[in-house]
Every structure is written in C-alpha cells, then in structure tokens.
A = this chain, B = another copy of it.
Amino acid sequence: MKIKAINPNTTLEMTENIGRVADRYTQDTTEIIAVSPERGPVSIESYYDDYLAVPGLLEEILTAEDDIDAFIVACWGDPGIEACREVTDKPVVGIAEASMYMANMLGAKFSVATILPRARDFIEAAVKKTGMESNCASVRCTDLTVIETETAREATIEGLLEVSWEAIEEDGAEVICLGCAGMGGLDEALEAELPVPVIDSVGAAAVLAESLVTLGKSTSSVMTYKRPESKLQRGYPDHFQFSDESPTADD
C-alpha cells in the first residue's frame, strides 16, 4: 500500500524526518511518500500560517497519483483536514487526532507538550474538534519554534522534558502527546526520562492510516465530506476546479 504523508509546511528537513518516522512504524509492504506543498509557510505557528498552508496541502491531494491509498496530514492541529476529506475518499488521518486516540488507550488523562505559547489556542481547538476535551489534562507550551524542534534536538528534548514533568506532576497527565510533527522520533529519548508513555504523533498517524486501509474503509461522502460543488475557484490553477464532469481525485 502507498501512503502519502503531507507535511503542510515547506521545510524539507522536517518532511524527511516525517517520512523516516512513518516508514519506521509501517509494514515493509507499505510505501511512504513524504512531501511538502510547493507553497505555504516554512513552519506553522499561528492561525495565519495554518490558513496559508491549506491550499498547498489540498493541492498535494488533488494532484496525487491514483494509487495512493491514504493520506497523512502531518501538523498537530490537523489543519484543513475537513477539506482534505471532501476532495478524496481515501482515508485522511491527522497527527493530532491519531496521537490523542493512542494516548487515550494508554492512560486516564493525557497532556500535549508543544511549541510556542501562542499556539495554545490552536492546539486546544484541535483537541476540541476531535472531541477529546474531557480526557485532556492540559496543553503545555515550551519556548520552541517549529524549526527548532528539527534543528535543535537537544534543546527540544530538554524543553519537552520540562513541560512534561509539569504536566505529570501538576495536571495529572498519564501520557504525553508530542504536539508538533517536528518532534517525530523523540518519543524514545523522552520515555527514557519520563515515567509515562510518550506518543510520537507522526508514528501514530502512520499506523492508523495503514489500519484504515487494512480495514478497507473510505471516507464517508454522504454529507459533510461530500465532494465540493462544481464552481469557479477564481485565481487557482485548473486542478483546484471541480466540475460536474470531473471525477474526484480518487474515482
């Protein structure tokens, strides 16, 4: 099977890491194709970055080869995931939701350890959207930018350890979700220091995407995630235009 893991930002080092992590946890027969959009922010830290990233993210689905079996949206916050689900009926898995489901099976309460304080509202919105609010002990922010999670691994581990301990001791967290795709691959280093499981959100999404394909499931297109109406998307290239005749990306 082929899974396309889309890093919605345009920093290729992060994309490579995402691919590596997804590949590590999936079966040998599963091919991971990790990509970044052509356009969009080099990192997603604000709602502004988030919204500017989505058209490029959608483009990666709209122009995907026919033989892709599932998609991963590799930004904690699952930006634009509802729109992704409209334009393909292949399963689309967000790393935020995936990590919370895994966490919820391992402990009574989880916390999200993440980047800059300004992202808190954005992160909390993802928790709410997924419906996991009552099981989330806290969102704990560090001072790390997204880029630093990739380029300053030691500082990232240090920052995450600090807020994870706070989450465990003050908020009652029993599991930690790593709240940024750039933190992919750090779960083991953290588990070596912490008394709780740590969820690599990219890894969680990879195995869940694979699972949905194995179960033979497609996204529901009966209502909310129906194919978009045929209409002009002014100023966007042809592959963004849906027409009555055009098939969806995966018909």
Chain A interface residues (CB < 8 Å from chain B) = 10, 25, 27, 38-43, 45-52, 54-56, 58, 80, 82-83, 85-87, 91-93, 97, 101-102, 104-109, 117-118, 120-122, 125, 128-135, 145, 168, 172, 174-175, 188, 195-197, 199-200, 203-204, 207-208, 210-212, 214-226, 228-229, 231-236, 240
Evaluate whether A130 and B104 lie within 8 angstroms (CB atoms) in the complex, with A51-B55, A145-B229 already known.
Answer: yes
Interface contacts beyond A47-B85, A199-B217: sample of 15 additional A-B pairs, CB < 8 Å, sorted by A? A25-B214, A38-B235, A39-B235, A40-B233, A46-B229, A50-B83, A52-B58, A105-B212, A107-B223, A108-B220, A108-B224, A118-B226, A120-B172, A131-B133, A197-B217
Give the contacting residue for A106; candidates B50, B109, B220; CB below 8 A. B220
Q: Shortest beta-carbon distance, A226 to chain B, in Å?
A: 5
Q: B105, A97: Cβ atoms under 8 Å?
A: yes
Give the contacting residue for A234; candidates B38, B172, B212; CB below 8 A. B38
Q: B131, A234: Cβ atoms under 8 Å?
A: no
Q: What are 24 sample pairs from A and B whose C-beta atoms fall under 8 A apart?
A: A39-B235, A40-B233, A41-B233, A41-B234, A42-B232, A42-B234, A46-B86, A47-B224, A48-B58, A50-B83, A51-B51, A52-B236, A54-B54, A91-B105, A102-B215, A108-B121, A109-B224, A120-B224, A121-B223, A131-B133, A172-B223, A195-B221, A196-B222, A199-B215
Task: Identify the 9 closest CB pairs spanning chains A and B, nearest first.
Answer: A39-B235, A107-B220, A207-B211, A108-B224, A47-B82, A48-B228, A174-B220, A101-B101, A47-B83
- Chain B residues near A107 (CB, 8 Å)? 219-220, 222-225
Assembly stoichiometry (copies) = 6
Determine the residue in chain B with the shortest Cβ distance to A176: B220
Q: B175, A220: Cβ atoms under 8 Å?
A: yes
Q: A174, B223: Cβ atoms under 8 Å?
A: yes
Q: A207, B215: Cβ atoms under 8 Å?
A: yes
Q: Shortest beta-carbon distance, A27 to chain B, in Å?
A: 7
Of A82, A87, A105, A236, which is in contact with the most chain B CB atoms at under 10 Å from its CB?
A: A105
